[in-house]
Structure 1
Amino acid sequence: MKKLFIVLAVLSSLCGVAQAQEKVPVLSTQELASDCKLPASPESRSFCVGYTTAIYDTYLATRHPKRAKPFICVKQPAPKRDVVIADFVQFAQANTMLSDKPAAGVFLGFLAERFPCAK
């Protein structure tokens, strides 16, 4: 019984090491811009809208107003979603040095540039 426990412990630790070394693929800016480019298939359009909305919603939900000043301030009435997404695609195409960077961070940077907060 003791030997079985030791064998299971060793196997589980080896599985943990293998999982820790596994590289998790992250969506690149180029991939997101490609999915967001018009005309898009219904699947690409849905993915683009869902992904970009999730990035912004996560920013809103995780920013603590007392500890972290906002850096994205969308004035109301907000522009149409399609306009903002088209602007992001142009931004990504104009900044090719960012194309292999993670899409979420680049999209947040784009939003900060497009919708800066008053100083």
Structure 2
Amino acid sequence: MTRIAAALFTCAALAWQPAAAQNVAPIGDAQTAGALGAVCDPAWGGVPRLEAIAYCQGFLTSFGQYHALLHPRGAPPFFCLPTPGPTIAQSGVAYAAWARANPQHADEPALQGLLRWARATYPCPR
């Protein structure tokens, strides 16, 4: 029974692999705003898609935590999230849409693009 389950799992895992997986840039190479946008809303499927989404969500979570650490120490916030704020998944999809709509920022560092998106999407009241 264990062998059958293992065989079925292996077949399912192989079936999930996209045909063009060899053409996908390594996820860790998301150094630019455009590359991060592609990782946050990957066009490929299977396990690489799950890895890309996890990378995106980790990147956004780290960015948010760093921002939260700066704000209480007296630094003015870069952006102001509503209450309740968006989920990390919603943020990743929204950032990817912003990156596609703003190709003029595609070659900027990923963190700079993410900050541009957050400021445009969640401006602080004056």
TM-score after normalising by structure 2: 0.66
- Please identify the structure whose Cα radius of gyration is greater: 1
Aligned with 1:55 (options 63, 66, 69) = 63
Match of 2:35 in 1: 31
Supply the AA of the counterpart residue of 1:48.
Answer: C
Runs of 4+ with deviation above 4 angstroms: none
* CA deviation map 1:69-99 (0-9, x unaligned): 1131111111222222211111111111111
Structure 1: unaligned runs, 5 residues or longer: 1-24
CA deviation after TM superposition for structure 1 residue 56, in Å: 1.6
The root-mean-square deviation of aligned C-alpha atoms, in Å, is 2.0
Match of 2:124 in 1: 117
Structure 2: unaligned runs, 5 residues or longer: 1-28
* TM-aligned CA distance change 1:110 to 1:70, over 3 Å: same
Aligned with 1:105 (options 92, 105, 112) = 112
Tell which has more relative contact order, 1 or 2 (C-alpha 8 A, sep 6+): 1
* TM-aligned CA distance change 1:65 to 1:118, over 3 Å: farther
CA deviation after TM superposition for structure 1 residue 63, in Å: 3.6
Q: Determine what percentage of the aligned residue pairs are the same residue.
A: 22
Local SS of the residue matching 1:73: coil
* TM-aligned CA distance change 1:36 to 1:100, over 3 Å: same
| Count of equivalent residues | 94
CA deviation after TM superposition for structure 1 residue 35, in Å: 0.7
- The 2-side partners of 1:99 and 1:85 are apart by 16
- The 2-side partners of 1:26 and 1:77 are apart by 29
